[in-house]
Structure 1
Amino acid sequence: MTDDLVRVLLVDDQELVRSGLRRILRRRAGFAIVAECGDGDGVPAAVAAHDIDVIVMDLRMKNIDGIEATRRLGESDPPVLALTTFDDDDLLSGVLRAGAAGFILKDSPAEDLIRAVRTVAAGESWLDPTVTSRVLTTYRKAVAPTNHGPADQLTPRERDVLRAIGRGLTNGEIAEALFISEVTVKSHIGRIFAKLGLRDRAAAIVYAFDHGIVSPDNPVA
């Protein structure tokens, strides 16, 4: 991001949807729509031609869908926020497995979309809270079992941070809740991932649910 301006690539096969997204992600709100694609097959060229901070990606498109387009991106490419009208657990867990940093439903409030795009552009994850528990259940079933480290090797503070990740908080929100700096939060997250053998934030959320650090029935506890 440059001067807090988030540069966005919009990928959606409906012009009407892209127009609506442009109205929400306006320059005066801190966004610049630097490129648009009507299908996933145009993403590589757009990424190569522009400086992009985040890709807002529709999932259902005619030629190359959002899951396959996300899968084809490299680790150094911009992060993907999946955007869909479909409350489909398999679809949403599929885009997480493909490497997306998060997902949000198209009927979410504009304020949530703005927060989600900013969060993903900053290198964090955004999982729509209305469907997260169900989607992670599907995600868990589809991913090969991994031997993660035991939770008891975490310090009390690291456990607090992991619980906050499981609740879907951003780094900034974790810092505010725990009265620590964002730099400290990032350090804790790095140690948590290393100790538990986690590859990303989605895996950390699954771990937090699986090990009772966050309760599926009471994720805000």
Structure 2
Amino acid sequence: MSSVRVAVIADAPQVRARLQALVDATPAFGLVRSAADGEALAHDLTGSLPDVIVIDLEPEASDALRSEFDADQAPPALVLLTDEADSDGIHEALPGNVMAILPRDATAAEIVAAIGAAAAGLCVLPSEIFARLLSGRKPPRSMASSVQVETLTLREIEVLTMLAEGLGNKEIARQLAISENTVKFHVSSIFGKLGATSRTEAVMLGMRHGFIMV
């Protein structure tokens, strides 16, 4: 199997060096480039984009989340290391390609696992944030019932259910005997109908509107 192409963004040189060493020490990963910020990384990269970018996010450094890459290419999955993982401000600033959120003191094993999961199209969240998404931030029942969303097709419900199970596009395509491009089309349609910007949000909204059960 080809290695997962990984880039690193970290303002602090010592943090950047630690993350570079972690990627280099993992046989399944290949370090593409590292930089102090997204603009510098985009300037240094040539050819195809990395599969995953690991970002060590300094407090009040949300500019690192801005997309600096060619809009014609699929954006890399982002693994975010932050001290403000449970902050409302962080959640509002997150682009849709953030696939993993970890505390900045996460262990090497946790970071490696998150990179692998993000490359496979899976989401990684601390348990407290996941619980908050599922319960703590639900609107009142009357408000939820008043929001009208377009009905999902049976196939879209199947795909959404598999997203809730943590399956990536390849596994969904294999189980449903369809192409990955078709899976991506269904995921895009689900996002549009539910008003979601990430897989985690799509699953949360799918449960809220009764399309899937847990």
Normalising by structure 2, we get a TM-score of 0.68
Deviates more, 1:186-195 or 1:157-166: 186-195
State the match for 1:197 in structure 2. 192
In 2, Cα distance between the equivalents of 1:111 and 1:34? 20
State the match for 1:69 in structure 2. 64
Alpha carbons of 1:167 and 1:159: their partners in 2 closer, same or farther (altered >3 Å)? same
State the match for 1:7 in structure 2. 5
Alpha carbons of 1:55 and 1:36: their partners in 2 closer, same or farther (altered >3 Å)? same
Tell me the secondary structure at the aligned position of residue 126 of structure 1. coil
> Aligned letter for 2:164?
G
Identity of aligned residues (%): 26
> Aligned letter for 1:38?
A
Deviation per residue, 1:163-193 (Å, 9 max, x gap)? 2313444335656xxx716755763452353
Tell me the secondary structure at the aligned position of residue 69 of structure 1. helix
Alpha carbons of 1:127 and 1:148: their partners in 2 closer, same or farther (altered >3 Å)? farther
Tell me the secondary structure at the aligned position of residue 29 of structure 1. coil
In 1, Cα distance between the equivalents of 2:137 and 2:34? 29
State the match for 1:29 in structure 2. 27
Among 65, 81, 85, which residue is 2:83 paired with?
85
Tell me the secondary structure at the aligned position of residue 36 of structure 1. strand
In 2, Cα distance between the equivalents of 1:171 and 1:193? 12
Tell me the secondary structure at the aligned position of residue 104 of structure 1. strand
Tell me the secondary structure at the aligned position of residue 72 of structure 1. coil
Q: What is the CA-CA distance between 1:53 and the residue it aligns to?
A: 2.5
Q: What is the CA-CA distance between 1:117 and the residue it aligns to?
A: 1.7
Deviation per residue, 1:3-53 (Å, 9 max, x gap)? 512222111123333333234323552212222222344233133587522
State the match for 2:151 in structure 1. 150
State the match for 1:134 in structure 2. 132
> Aligned letter for 2:151?
P
Q: What is the CA-CA distance between 1:204 and the residue it aligns to?
A: 1.9
In 1, Cα distance between the equivalents of 2:12 and 2:182? 41
Matches within 5 A, 1:93-112: 93-96=91-94, 98-106=95-103, 107-112=105-110
Alpha carbons of 1:61 and 1:158: their partners in 2 closer, same or farther (altered >3 Å)? same
State the match for 1:43 in structure 2. 41
Alpha carbons of 1:170 and 1:89: their partners in 2 closer, same or farther (altered >3 Å)? farther
Task: Count the aligned residue pairs.
Answer: 200
Tell me the secondary structure at the aligned position of residue 8 of structure 1. strand
In 2, Cα distance between the equivalents of 1:58 and 1:140? 29
> Aligned letter for 2:98?
A
Structure 1 residue runs of 4 or more that deviate by more than 6 Å after TM superposition:
136-141
State the match for 1:218 in structure 2. none
